[in-house]
Structure 1
């Protein structure tokens, strides 16, 4: 299957960087606004092939805009977003994993199904789509590894689209396949869109079941942030209808679940399950801002597509990985067996497609943070937050 797009030859320029169907791989590649005859905004897009160590053969696509964001994503790693930066702000984190690890060097089933961690360093990694939560072994003895396969699946097709008319929207599109004989045939058309000069970007994914049988699916958009946003007394904000600890350890953090510690040795991690309040159309928002409230990030999503939100607080030492995750999803991060038992496991019928859309906003100053806080406050209104003291399940 190749990616097929309807293009206007006069308005949109399209470049195929990778195509398994047509045996295409451009390797190192670059284009700029000047080459496209655009002179009122500066930007460039390049693909870089990496070498050495476990990143041998990995590829990066980098969108650079001096007046906006620099966005880095990896077609080798499921079209995951590595980071997005602007002067004074970074959406991303510092993992002990420094290389963009080629999935060839990762055994997802190692370490009792947690081999996924050996490549984990992205700002946004897709957890799914066959399954997305913690590892488990089914009744047939088959091990389902941590967070699924999508984030470690190289894209079969990669296309760059650039609109040559204002506002010059850039789209990076990919095709991720999860197909196994006798098991599944799920295919995801991923899309990252960015308007040069802006401080936001959008992800729009379309998941289709190409099999003749219905199949369960799960997706968690594991979105991760460290310094400079994460620090002592930084704060997570969202319109929260209901929150519960993921496990017994997280019960100890319910009193201050919205705020963060400084890097703390032996902190481990605390996870919270959240059901958000929304606007009438199902749209909602979650955000993180620093202590001074002059930098932050927000994520907009719709609960008709992604009804649940996971908050992951991993304020361990900096070398160990000082990071928090804001994770919209179709489910919580429990093993799929628990999600099925508690009726959070969705099913995609043969030939059907579901869509997921998220918008990431870099909040560069106090005004942007204040606008976000007001919007979240407006969604919450006078509605109370129900705090459940006990976990929804025990693994």
Structure 2
């Protein structure tokens, strides 16, 4: 493997440390106070600069992410609030949403709260506030390469309702600044079930500065609300307390790619160019939502690959674009994040 500018064998590294976790690896933690009490987190360090915290208590989503100790993700004012405080009605999701690198929205509802065929649905669904089960966290060697893998299942079920199970794996390798998310969603029930999913990636200061540019490689873009200007969606701004959030829908290519470039990312050795890239498959995630919110205190860019839009399930059904899974049917998602 390549690390610290050199090629190493496993045994060469092991000769230089007492434990490989000195360089990279996995550690598990538990919150002990306030609304974070009882929230488990699993820290992954790749040894090349990337570090992130997976949260089994909140759907195996990813909280804080850092590059050489400097944050790239946005954390909400709620912190990593325990799901016991979750209010599923209306916009209650906003009281306990953690932010972090990734909040998964779904599995049967995404977007605005609504009523769909007599069922009242809250903002962005239940996935982000559902604890995972069968959680494993392991580092394993294959010859001279070490992989760190977090895995588990998240289920959304209801008696006389839908039954969906998400099986997630998050993988990184020693010496690499990347992570791979691999999800499988299966309809474990015996009736056709609506399925909506949106990967709510959240980027923040200091990755986002007035110098930052965002390249979407999109074929076209439109604002969700009529009258919202479509210029300026590639640029970032200083915090503005009066800024009103903007949501854009991007029509992407068959190989979607978003790149966030900061030419002066503040590492301890001085400013340097950093690029964060996000890639996924358009076969199962054909839509890209952009949430632009350079407000004061809520200073965040959302990059959100999805199989739907964000007006809620009733609007998706009316549009004829609501995705369904047949009994026993599965669908697979794969998203890769790279830093360079």
Give the TM interval when normalised to the shorter protein.
Answer: 0.7 to 0.9
**Structure 1: unaligned runs, 5 residues or longer:** 1-32, 364-395
After the TM superposition, which residues 5-24 of structure 1 pair with which residues of structure 2 at under 5 Å, given as runs? Answer: none
Structure having the higher strand fraction is: 2
- Which residue number in structure 2 is paired with residue 341 of structure 1? 318
Equivalent residue, structure 2, for 1:127: 105
Matched with 1:315 is 294
State the SS of the aligned residue for 2:103: strand
Give the 5 Å matches for 1:57-68.
57-68=38-49
Indicate whether 1:360 and 2:337 are aligned.
yes
1:204 alignment partner in structure 2: 182
2:130 to 136, 153, 157: 153
1:70 aligns with 51
Equivalent-residue separation in structure 1 for 2:27 and 2:247 (angstroms): 37
State the distance in 2 between where 1:38 and 1:208 align: 39
Determine the structure 2 residue equivalent to 1:144: 121
2:277 to 298, 306, 320: 298
CA contact (8 A) 1:236 1:258 kept: yes
Cross-structure match for 2:309? 332
State the partner residue of 2:203: 225
1:101 corresponds to 2:88: no
Q: CA deviation at 1:90?
A: 2.5
TM-score by length of 2: 0.88
Map of 1:273 onto structure 2: 249
Q: What is aligned with 2:193?
A: 215
Post-superposition, which runs of at least 4 consecutive aligned residues in structure 1 deviate over 4 A?
36-41
- Which structure shows the higher helix fraction? 1
* TM-score, normalised via structure 1 length: 0.76
Residues 340 and 42 (structure 1 numbering): CA distance in 2 closer, same or farther, change over 3 Å? same
Aligned to 1:390: none
CA distance in 1, matches of 2:126, 2:188: 17
Aligned-partner Cα distance in 1 for 2:320–2:260: 30
Closer/same/farther in 2, CA of residues 325 and 37 from structure 1, 3 Å limit:
same
Partner SS, residue 54 of structure 1: helix
The equivalent of 1:350 in structure 2 is 327
Unmatched tracts of structure 2, length 5 or more:
1-13, 265-271
> In 1, are the aligned partners of 2:46 and 2:172 still within 8 Å (CA)?
no
RMSD: 2.1
- How big is the shift at 1:38? 7.4
Query: Are positions 1:260 and 2:236 aligned together?
Result: yes
Aligned to 1:185: 163
Other-structure match for 2:67: 86
1:190-214 deviations in whole A, cap 9, x for unaligned?
1100101110000000000000111
Question: Counterpart in 1 of 2:267?
Answer: none
